[in-house]
Structure 1
Amino acid sequence: MIEFNNITAVYSEESGIFNLDFHVNKSELIFLMGPTGSGKSTVLNVINKKIKINSGSLIIDGKDVTKIKRRKIPYYRRKIGMIFQDYKLISDRTIFENISLPLQLIGVAKKDILYSVDQVLDKVSLRGVLDSFPNELSGGEQQRVSIARALINNPLLVLADEPTGNLDPNQADEIIDILENISNEGSTVLMSTHNYPLIKNRDKRFIELDNGRKIS
């Protein structure tokens, strides 16, 4: 599903990733481990086409997207769900509006939006919040909303950038359980984290980075 073939992507004098090789299988949940500044977010931004590749090749779902044309990037990104540490919810929009926004932007019919929102809320085990605003929810609930929004387009690939960083241990475990269920249902999930104790008992592969290089 994801293939990094000797990728180097440098976005400042000493920051980036260097000669990175790894693969992620379809429907796999894999952890991207490393301290702050190790290159985890750079990997996710390379996949999401926010950082250009200097050398190497990127294969997504069997297609070489290394030099995808700029006009095609918005369509490419529709296949990717993004989850962030700070949720990136719109504070003056209701939870329904936050989750449904990606579908509204591409002109999906209202009845189909209602159905899709209902489906993704089931996946994150969240009910009774559609008319609420983000600041009325706990951090764990806000992250569930963020995940629901990431799933609204039925993505092939979900990229989670430190999604448990602002949560307590119980909430963090619940979020990883949700991500594991998402992968079991068919989406490929790549989650970055610096918190090894959080994932050490999970029976999943992890890729460890340091200073932009793979060390395990």
Structure 2
Amino acid sequence: MTTSPHDAGAPSARTIVNRYRHLAHYDRPTIDAILDAMPVAHIAYLHEGQPIVTPTLQWREGDRVYWHGANNGRMMRATEGADVCLTVSILDGLVLARSAFNFNVNHRSVMVFGKAEAVTDREEKVRLLTRLINSFAPNQWDKLRPATAPEINATAILSLKIGEASAKVRSGPPEDNEGDYAHPVWAGVLPIRLTVGAAEPDPRNLPGVAAPDLSGYRIG
């Protein structure tokens, strides 16, 4: 299988898609778009010999994906320098078929494998945290109460190079067995979309404090 300069790399034994191979994507534009569309990721790792999966916020810069947590937290201590699998999934619809065994979901998902690397430079940590906060509300970091040195020190940021990764994308109607299309039962897709609602103010906001501009925030 050949790859282009925009690929995440030739599919490895860990990333190659064996089930529904026609849904597989290894190109970076597809992988990046899914990572950028969903801030919630799940990090899979081993802790004291036990498999753990932890949800967290992730964000991408170039060919790296980042996540943060408490320095003394289990996930950050167990994953630094260790092999992990980061996954992001977006549910786009329920696919109702004519056979129970052809029910499916329309979705976009990514798996990234590699060794988690810690960001240790303080200025770089602040820059990355600033980018995370400003991704929710533009220029919001500079309006917040300044972060203290203990807060920065207590926060760990890990990153993963997007070098060993694959995506799966399914869309469209059910794929039934040819003989089942004559079966008299409804089949089709129930679309599912994530939407951003109107901002709900904290009841303890100070009088006259304006809300940030959140009109550009999108998810999914």
TM norm structure 1 = 0.24
The answer to which structure has the higher strand fraction is 2
More contact order relative to length (CA 8 Å, sep ≥ 6): 1
Whose helix proportion is higher, 1 or 2?
A: 1
Structure with max Cα Rg: 2
Scaled by the length of structure 2, what TM-score is found?
0.24
